Amino acid sequence: MDHEQKPGAGLLHLLQLLWLLPHSWAVPGAPALVSRDGLQNHTFRHTVFCQDGNPSIGLYESYDEDQLYSYDFSQNTRVPRLPDFADWAQEQGDALAISFDREFCEMLMQNISPVLEGQIPVSRGLPVPEVFTLKPLEFGKPNTLVCFISNLFPPTLTVTWQRHFVPVEGASPTYISAVDGLTFQAFSYLNFTPEPFDLYSCVVTHEIDSYTPIAHWVPQNALPSDLLENVLCGLAFGLGLLGIVMGIAFFIWSQKPCSVD
């Protein structure tokens, strides 16, 4: 016999899951944190979100606001933000917890989203991009452009790059991470070799409201390149030699006897 689900049954089930959630992540035998003078506090953040947009589910881990990994649910593997973390990304010790994250998100979307529809803002604020170089700027030397997007909610966006308003390929995947205040931030990277008259643009499309801010980058305060350094060194060396020759000439000229009429 079919049983009609009473209103609020989904919420009750959610509360039960929330009660069990901290216990499911507890580590047996883990030592309690002890506060000691002189020790610095650090924050590890494990963020899971799910939404109607793309990506439909996301999992990100960060340490002191620096993202370590994202999780690719289609491949069931971590994606390290930096190559140095590649070995750690292969660890599967928390596979059950991540599986729980996914099921929990799916349950939220199925049971809670219809109840709260119209009560939660679809979009809050407008994303703000800015572009800068990863290393000090030197013409002719490989570098990386970083597009940093802040004030992002919800985390549905597409990032593309342009050079002189022409699309360019080779950008990294867009890395999204959560920050305090229930907002998100995102990073996109583009490897390039800077030239004096470059113009690069980071185009961000916030898919939820079709808002598209653009951040431009042009070279400023560039360090001298090797060619310029060699030219300046050669010029300085030539001026030095000229000064020595002129000094010797003046010295010889000063030693000549003066004629007296």
Q: Are residues 134 and 78 in the same domain?
A: no
Q: Are residues 50 and 82 in the same domain?
A: yes
The domain boundary, picked from 199, 217, 235, lies at 217
pLDDT at 47 (0 to 100): 81
Domain harbouring 165, CATH code: 2.60.40.10
Domain harbouring 99, CATH code: 3.10.320.10
The domain boundary, picked from 116, 137, 159, lies at 116
Measured CA to CA, the distance from residue 82 to residue 73 in angstroms comes to: 19
Measured CA to CA, the distance from residue 193 to residue 141 in angstroms comes to: 6
Measured CA to CA, the distance from residue 11 to residue 111 in angstroms comes to: 8
Measured CA to CA, the distance from residue 67 to residue 189 in angstroms comes to: 14
Q: Are residues 164 and 186 in the same domain?
A: yes
DSSP code at position 108: I
- Confirm whether 75 is domain-assigned: yes
The domain boundary, picked from 116, 143, 163, lies at 116
Q: Are residues 151 and 177 in the same domain?
A: yes
Measured in whole angstroms, the distance separating CA 105 from the mean position of its chain's CA atoms is 24
Report angle CA 211, 122, 44 to the nearest 5 degrees: 95
pLDDT at 131 (0 to 100): 96
By the 10 Å C-beta count (0-12 exposed, 13-18 middle, 19+ buried), 59 is classed as buried
**95-107 and 9-24 helices, crossing angle to 10°:** 160
- Confirm whether 109 is domain-assigned: yes
Measured CA to CA, the distance from residue 100 to residue 23 in angstroms comes to: 12
Enumerate helices (H) and strands (E) in the chain, giving the number of each: 5, 12
Which residue shows structure tokens 């047996």? 28
pLDDT at 30 (0 to 100): 38
- Confirm whether 76 is domain-assigned: yes
pLDDT at 142 (0 to 100): 95
Measured CA to CA, the distance from residue 92 to residue 77 in angstroms comes to: 8
What is the residue range of 155's domain?
128-217
User: What total of structural domains would you count in the chain?
Assistant: 2
Return the closest-CA partner of residue 229 out of 142, 144, 138, 143: 138
- Confirm whether 67 is domain-assigned: yes
- Confirm whether 103 is domain-assigned: yes
DSSP code at position 122: S
pLDDT at 165 (0 to 100): 95
pLDDT at 193 (0 to 100): 95
214 Cβ neighbours under 8 A, 6+ residues apart? 129, 201, 202, 203, 204
pLDDT at 18 (0 to 100): 44
DSSP code at position 152: E
- Confirm whether 225 is domain-assigned: no
Measured CA to CA, the distance from residue 229 to residue 221 in angstroms comes to: 15
pLDDT at 108 (0 to 100): 80
Query: Dihedral of CA 5/11/12/13: which sign?
Result: positive
Q: Are residues 86 and 133 in the same domain?
A: no
**Could you read off the pLDDT tens digit of each residue along the chain, which spans 261 residues?**
434 444 444 444 444 444 344 433 433 333 444 445 567 788 887 788 888 777 778 888 877 777 777 888 877 778 777 777 777 667 777 778 888 888 888 888 887 777 777 666 666 778 999 999 999 999 999 999 999 999 888 888 899 999 999 999 999 888 888 777 678 889 999 999 999 999 999 999 987 778 899 999 999 876 665 555 565 566 666 666 766 767 676 666 666 665 555
pLDDT at 204 (0 to 100): 95
